């Protein structure tokens, strides 16, 4: 289903195929030959999303842009089932395996591989051809690839990332952090109450 959000409608190339149960919302551009499978969600929450040619978005994957971080995904990239990409820039010919998680501000170079359940943290920069092993964590610039048992090293990189401040605009040291965060973010998400669905079945679910 395609939705107009904040006055912007998805723009889908005639040769792209969008499954009937996928959700495409807002300022989203989907390139030639793309395939968006059942249950996938591509939602532009204040920032644009661009998919290059022949990008495949598998079942139940999530792509989300924010006002702070747009999303660009280069051509011939595959986004596996249950993978999520939030506010990241992705090069061409990249492979995201099932359950991969890519966070705001990350830069993923051409021909990288992010394997099953691996994480690319906020603002991490993966040079061309980087492989993040199964379940591992990529942090920083220059990037460090850390196994999940190296919790102290991963945690040491986190305070500088300031996830609450960058993504939600709330100071990490705010005493009622989660109260402020959920109320502010909830107010932003409530704008979806005014979304407008539009039917393009006369074009075989291939967009507008």
Tell whether 208 is covered by a domain. no
Give strand pairing partners of 184: none
Tell whether 192 is covered by a domain. yes
| Per-residue DSSP letter, 175 | T
Tens digits of residue pLDDT in 75-107: 999 999 999 999 999 999 999 999 999 999 999
Which is more confidently placed, 122 or 173?
122
* Both structure tokens of 160: 């500088």
Which segments of 124-207 does DSSP mark as H helices, in order?
Answer: 151-157, 163, 177-189
What CATH number corresponds to the domain at position 46?
Answer: 2.160.10.10
* Domain membership of residue 29 as a residue range: 2-203
Long-range contact list for 138-147, CB < 8 A, 24+ apart? Answer: 138/114
Tell whether 76 is covered by a domain. yes
Tell whether 89 is covered by a domain. yes
Q: Say how many domains are in the chain.
A: 1
Tell whether 99 is covered by a domain. yes
Residue keyed to tokens 């109450």: 193
Tell whether 179 is covered by a domain. yes
Question: For residues 72 and 87, is the Cβ–Cβ distance under 8 A?
Answer: no
Tens digits of residue pLDDT in 158-204: 656 666 666 677 777 778 887 888 887 788 878 888 888 986 643 44
Query: How far apart are alpha carbons 53 and 35 in whole angstroms?
Result: 10
Q: Looking at residue 200, what is its pLDDT? A: 60
Q: Starting at the edge strand that comes first in sequence, how are the strands of the sheet with 49-51 ordered? A: 11-12, 28-30, 49-51, 71-73, 89-90, 107-108, 125-126
| Count of CB atoms situated within 10 Å of the CB of 156 | 11
């Amino acid at each position: 289903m395609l939705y107009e959000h904040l006055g912007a409608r998805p723009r889908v190339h005639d040769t792209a195929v969008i499954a009937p149960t996928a959700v495409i919302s807002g300022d989203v551009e989907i390139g030639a030959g793309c395939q968006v499978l059942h249950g996938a969600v591509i939602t532009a929450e204040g920032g644009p999303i661009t998919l290059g040619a022949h990008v495949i978005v598998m079942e139940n994957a999530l792509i989300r842009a924010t006002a702070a971080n747009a999303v660009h995904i280069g051509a011939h990239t595959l986004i596996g089932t249950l993978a999520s990409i939030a506010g990241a820039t992705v090069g061409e010919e990249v492979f995201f395996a099932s359950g991969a998680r890519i966070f705001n501000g990350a830069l993923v170079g051409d021909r990288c591989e992010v394997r099953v359940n691996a994480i690319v943290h906020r603002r991490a920069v993966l040079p061309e051809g980087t492989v993040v092993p199964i379940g591992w964590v990529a942090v920083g610039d220059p990037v460090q690839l850390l196994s999940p048992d190296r919790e102290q090293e991963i945690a040491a990189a986190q305070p500088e990332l300031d996830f609450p401040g960058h993504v939600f605009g709330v100071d990490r040291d705010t005493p009622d952090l989660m109260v402020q965060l959920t109320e502010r973010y909830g107010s932003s998400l409530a704008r979806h109450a005014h979304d407008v669905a539009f039917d393009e079945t006369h074009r075989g679910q291939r967009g507008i």
